[in-house]
Each structure stands twice: as C-alpha cells, then as structure tokens.
Amino acid sequence: DTGVSQNPRHKITKRGQNVTFRCDPISEHNRLYWYRQTLGQGPEFLTYFQNEAQLEKSRLLSDRFSAERPKGSFSTLEIQRTEQGDSAMYLCASSPSTGTGNTIYFGEGSWLTVV
C-alpha cells in the first residue's frame, strides 16, 4: 500500500498565477476527494469523484477552481488567478466504493502559499 500521493508538496506562487496539484489515490480506490485546510481549522470538503464522475462540489469551490479525474485514476486540482485567500493545504483523499461509511485515507497534502 503506497498510500495517497500528492505533488507538489509545497508551492509558492504570486497572486494571479495559476497552480495545479496532482493526486494519485490508493490504486484500488474508486472514490477520490479534495479538501482544503487552513491553519487552526479542520479540513473542508471541496469536491468528490466516483471514478471519473465528479459527483459533488462544495460552494467553496469557486469558478476559479476546477478538478478533474479524466481516467478515473489520478486527479488534478487547478486554481486559476490565485488570491491570497487561497493559501492553504490542499488535501486529497481516497476510499473504496463499497457502500457507505467507507474509511477515507488522506495524502500528505499540498501546501499553497500565495504571495
């Protein structure tokens, strides 16, 4: 079990630039999630995929954010025209798709700092 892999682990970008994060879930997991965590807070749900289908998006996910999972394996999260308020840790997670209440495993996260 190689776990959920995310890269880059750290990204510093200037305001207004675009950034993209990649997530590779645990290989047999069909469900993939993106969360955002700011300092001192719990992770907040952003979006969720079942295979390649994006099933739910939080209203936190403004139109500057887009997530894809084109072949049902890895996923990308792109943030366009970054703002300082986007600075956070972006966590990817995955789980198997057997019914409900599945254990969700998190990756190490991608830290974004917008300057």
Partner 1 sequence: GENVEQHPSTLSVQEGDSAVIKCTYSDSASNYFPWYKQELGKRPQLIIDIRSNVGEKKDQRIAVTLNKTAKHFSLHITETQPEDSAVYFCAASKNEKLTFGTGTRLTIIP
Asked if 25 is part of the footprint of partner 1 (rule: CB under 8 A), the reply reads: no
Options 41, 63, 71, 85; binder of partner 1; rule CB under 8 A: 41
Q: Does 1 bind partner 1 (CB under 8 A)?
A: no
Question: Binding partner 1 by CB under 8 A: which of 31, 75, 77, 90?
Answer: 31
Cα separation of 10 and 12, whole Å? 7
Contact 21, 46 (CB under 8 A): no
28 makes contact with partner 1 (CB under 8 A): no
Contact call for residue 109 and partner 1 (CB under 8 A): yes
The rounded distance, in Å, linking the Cα atoms of 73 and 37 is: 23
